[in-house]
């Protein structure tokens, strides 16, 4: 019964995507291309002494930003449509089923975005990522994907004004791109800033992805910290959904 409800929720979203499948595929291809064109190429002329070379090193950042930002945007749109009064009353669905459907859907979307991004980047940067590295990077990203799912739920629940949400979306993109080492190496930031940002799970995920691409061992403590944060944010997301369902049933 539980899996049936989850399948219904995911299928509802996939049917909406099916109506705009070509536009969706276009975005999957376009977003990493734009990041490479407008950020990677100019910055590669700045960081000329970076090892591995910048055009290879930055690919983990492009993959990271492409996956997480698209997951955030798609989940935000889904949340607005999904948690409406009539639909939540029409199905005997538990809060955990709503949350699991979002996580499964986001992992699926993240995997597709990762495949498209790696294909594009491998064609632009020869030898960027092997199949084994791809699997490792995606596995390392899973906690951050789960965090972003719940983070989008929290933001949509707190902010109702569309203009403010659009501003926040821009700030989130800038944060993912420039604040945690996606396009600018963290060692160029002040040590005080690095000490603060290292506690953010997104930063640890990105560092481990860069380690994988550089054929180095990952920091397992950072992965487990990210895993802990994903569980913590999932509890918050669960109780937000539970509160919405109680309000709708009153």
SS3 of the chain: the string is: CHHHHHHHHHHHHHHHHHHCHHHHHHHHHHHHHHHHHHHHHHHHCCCCCCCCCHHHHCHHHHHHHHHHHHHHHHHHHHHHHHCCHHHHHHCCCCHHHHHHHHHHHHHHHHHHHHHHHHHHHHHHCCCCCCHHHHHHHHHHHHHHHHHHHHHHHHHHHHCCCHHHHHHHHHHHHHHHHHCCCCCCCHHHCCHHHHHHHCCCHHHHHHHHHHHHHCCCCCCHHHHHHHHHHHHHHHHHHHHHHHHHHHHHHC
C-alpha 137/C-alpha 201 separation (Å) is: 15
Q: Which of 86-90, 174-178, 243-247 has the highest mean pLDDT?
A: 174-178
pLDDT, mean of residues 80-87? 60
| Cα 242 to Cα 62: distance, rounded to the nearest angstrom | 35
CB crowding 84-112: b at 16 or more within 10 Å, else e: eeeebeeeebbbebbbbbbbebbbebbbe
For 226, the domain range is 2-249
Q: How many Å apart are CA 250 and CA 244, to the nearest integer?
A: 10
Q: Is the pTM for the entire model greater than 0.95?
A: no
Q: Model confidence at 247, in pLDDT bands (50, 70, 90)?
A: low
Reply yes or no on whether the pLDDT at 64 is more than 80: yes
Which two structure tokens, joined as six digits, stand for 11?
């299928």
* Residue 51: predicted pLDDT: 67
Contact indicator for 54, 44 with CB cutoff of 8 Å: yes
Predicted confidence band of residue 91 (pLDDT cuts 50, 70, 90):
low
- Distance CA(240)–CA(234), nearest Å, equals 10
pLDDT of 175: 94
Q: What separation, in Å, do the N-terminal and C-terminal C-alpha atoms of the chain show?
A: 24
Is residue 52 pLDDT above 90, yes or no? no
Q: How confident is the model at residue 76 (pLDDT cuts 50, 70, 90)?
A: confident
- Counting the structural domains of the chain, the total is 1
Q: What is the mean pLDDT of the chain?
A: 84
Tokens 């499948």, residue? 21
Residue 156 — very low, low, confident or very high, per pLDDT cuts 50/70/90? Answer: confident
pLDDT score at 125:
65
Q: Which residue has the higher pLDDT, 208 or 125?
A: 208
Stretch among 1-10, 167-176, 215-224 having the lowest mean pLDDT: 1-10
| pLDDT, tens digit, 9 for 90 and up, residues 99-124 | 888 899 899 989 999 999 998 888 87
Residue 46 has pLDDT above 80, yes or no: yes
């Amino acid at each position: 019964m539980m899996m049936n409800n989850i399948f219904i929720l995911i299928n509802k979203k996939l049917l909406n995507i099916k109506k705009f499948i070509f536009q969706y595929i276009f975005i999957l291809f376009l977003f990493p291309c734009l990041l490479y064109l407008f950020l990677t190429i100019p910055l590669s002329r700045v960081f000329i002494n970076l090892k591995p070379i910048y055009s290879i090193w930055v690919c983990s950042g492009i993959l990271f930003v492409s996956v997480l930002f698209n997951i955030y945007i798609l989940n935000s749109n889904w949340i607005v449509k999904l948690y409406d009064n009539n639909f939540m009353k029409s199905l005997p669905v538990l809060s955990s089923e709503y949350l699991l459907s979002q996580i499964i859907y986001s992992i699926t979307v993240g995997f597709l975005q990762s495949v498209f991004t790696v294909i594009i980047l491998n064609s632009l940067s020869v030898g960027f990522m092997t199949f084994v590295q791809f699997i490792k990077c995606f596995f390392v990203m899973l906690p951050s994907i789960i965090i972003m799912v719940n983070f989008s739920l929290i933001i949509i629940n707190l902010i109702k004004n569309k203009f403010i949400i659009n501003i926040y979306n821009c700030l989130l993109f800038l944060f993912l791109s420039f604040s945690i080492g996606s396009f600018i190496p963290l060692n160029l930031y002040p040590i005080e800033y690095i000490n603060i940002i290292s506690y953010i799970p997104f930063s640890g995920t990105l560092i481990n992805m860069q380690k994988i691409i550089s054929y180095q061992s990952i920091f397992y403590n950072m992965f487990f910290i990210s895993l802990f944060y994903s569980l913590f944010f999932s509890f918050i997301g669960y109780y937000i959904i539970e509160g919405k369902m109680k309000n709708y049933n009153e």
